[in-house]
C-alpha cells in the first residue's frame, strides 16, 4: 500500500467509472478521468441503492459508511463529526453516507437496525461496525487513521 508505484482503484461516485490512481497521489485531489468529479476531496459522498455496490465494492481504499436518516437527531449531531473525520482521512479512506430511508435495499442488506450505524468495508466486505453517534476522533480511529 505504501510502495510508490502502487496503483489504487478508486471508483467515481458520480459516474461509476473506476479510476486508477497512483497510491502516492491519492491525497493530491485526484479527479475522475471520465466525468471530472473530485474522487478523494475529503468530503463524504452520498451513495444510493443504485450505485452503492458499484462504488463501495470497487474501492481499494477502506470505505466507511454512515447509515443515517433526516429525522434522526443523533445522526444530525454526528454529521459534522463524520465530515471532520473524512477531511482528516482524505486520500486514505472513502467516507460514504447512505440515507437508510431512501435506500432500503442497502440498509437491509447490511441489517441496519438502528442509526446512526457506521460500517467499515474492505473491497465491499464488512470488516467492522459500530452503532451510535461518535466524535470525530473515534471515527478516525475506526476508519484506521
Ligand atoms: Zn466520474
CA of 130 to the centre of ligand 1 (A): 30
CA of 91 to the centre of ligand 1 (A): 17
pLDDT confidence of 115, banded at 50, 70, 90?
Answer: very high
Name every residue whose Cβ is closer than 8 Å to that of residue 15 and which is 6 or more positions away in sequence: 32, 34, 35, 37
* The predicted structure's pLDDT at residue 145: 85
Read off the pLDDT of each residue in 131-140 and give the average, rounded to a whole number: 98
Instruction: State yes or no: pLDDT of 5 exceeds 80.
Output: no
* The predicted structure's pLDDT at residue 92: 95
CA of 69 to the centre of ligand 1 (A): 26
If we measure between CA atoms, which residue out of 63, 66, 139, 127 comes closest to residue 94?
63
Read off the pLDDT of each residue in 118-125 and give the average, rounded to a whole number: 96
Instruction: State yes or no: pLDDT of 1 exceeds 70.
Output: no
Read off the pLDDT of each residue in 47-52 and give the average, rounded to a whole number: 96
- Annotated active-site residue 32? The verdict is no
CA of 45 to the centre of ligand 1 (A): 13
* Catalytic-role residue among 12, 32, 35, 72: 72
Q: What percent of the chain has pLDDT over 90?
A: 96
- Annotated active-site residue 12? The verdict is no
Alpha-carbon span 2 to 72, nearest angstrom? 39
Instruction: State yes or no: pLDDT of 104 exceeds 70.
Output: yes
Amino acid at each position: 500500500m505504501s510502495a510508490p508505484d502502487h496503483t489504487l482503484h478508486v471508483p467515481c461516485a458520480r459516474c461509476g467509472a473506476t479510476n486508477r490512481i497512483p497510491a502516492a497521489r491519492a491525497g493530491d485531489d485526484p479527479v475522475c478521468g471520465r466525468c471530472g468529479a473530485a474522487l478523494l476531496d475529503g468530503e463524504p459522498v452520498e451513495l444510493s441503492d443504485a450505485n452503492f455496490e458499484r462504488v463501495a465494492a470497487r474501492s481499494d481504499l477502506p470505505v466507511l459508511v454512515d447509515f443515517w436518516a433526516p429525522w434522526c437527531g443523533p445522526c444530525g449531531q454526528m454529521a459534522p463529526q463524520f465530515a471532520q473525520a473524512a477531511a482528516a482521512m482524505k486520500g486514505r479512506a472513502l467516507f460514504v453516507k447512505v440515507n437508510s430511508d431512501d435506500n432500503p435495499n442497502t440498509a437491509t442488506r447490511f441489517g441496519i437496525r438502528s442509526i446512526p450505524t457506521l460500517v467499515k468495508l474492505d473491497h465491499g466486505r464488512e470488516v467492522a461496525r459500530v452503532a451510535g453517534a461518535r466524535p470525530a476522533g473515534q471515527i478516525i480511529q475506526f476508519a484506521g487513521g
